Every structure is written in C-alpha cells, then in structure tokens.
Amino acid sequence: MSSRYRIYMASEAWLESPARYEALRSADFRCRICNVPSDEVPLQAHHRTYERLGAELPEDLTALCLLCHREVTNFLAARRYALQQPPTIVDVVIQERAPLWDASMAAGSAA
C-alpha cells in the first residue's frame, strides 16, 4: 500500500468524495454482498480500480461492510499472488563441501 494511498484514504477529500457517497447511496446504504444496512455495520467504499485515485467515478467503487470488504480484499490479494509466475528454480551443484568446523581448533582446545 503506497503512502499516497494511505494519505488520501485519511483525507477530507476521500471522506467527502461525491463518488464515495454515490457508491454508498446507489447501494441504498447496504453492503453489496451481504446486504447488511449501514445502521448495523459501518459501510466502506471498496476501490474496484485505483486508476483514478483521488478523482474516482462512482463505478470505480463498491459499497461493502467491513467484513465483506476484508474478505474481498483478501480474495483479490490471494488471486494476484496465485497468478504470479513462480520463481525460476535453479539447481546448484556443490562440488566440494567446506567443513562445518575447524578440526585444528578442536584438537588445540583438547590439549
């Protein structure tokens, strides 16, 4: 999460965003997933895209309750992770192993 995003999300501009309000209003102030009303659980506006961060359109946002927002965010992060290319596996062959301890030090300490 970028510092620009964190600063914006804590700003008056976000809290008073017309797009944010319209996303909540168009959902009738209910979670779009579980339908819980905002008088039971605070609603949040989930960013469907960050393309216009700071100048969002109502369709960039979706009204979700805290729990559904957390689940959607976790699901999307897991999907992004699953779609990443796995790292290239390189076999390394060790030709000669170094001793784990110095035999001369061990012999010297026994005397």
pTM check: above 0.75:
no
Mean pLDDT of 67-78: 93
> Residue 17 belongs to what domain range?
1-76
Domain total for the chain?
Answer: 1
Q: Kindly report, residue by residue over 17-62, the tens digit of the pLDDT.
A: 999 999 999 999 999 999 999 999 999 999 999 999 999 999 999 9
d(CA 105, CA 4): 56
Residue 102 belongs to some domain of the structure? no
Residue 58 lies in a domain: yes
Is 82 among the domain residues?
no
Q: Does a structural domain hold residue 97?
A: no
Q: Would residue 19 count as lying in a domain?
A: yes
Give the integer Cα–Cα distance in Å for 29 and 32.
Answer: 9
**In this structure, is residue 11 part of a structural domain?**
yes
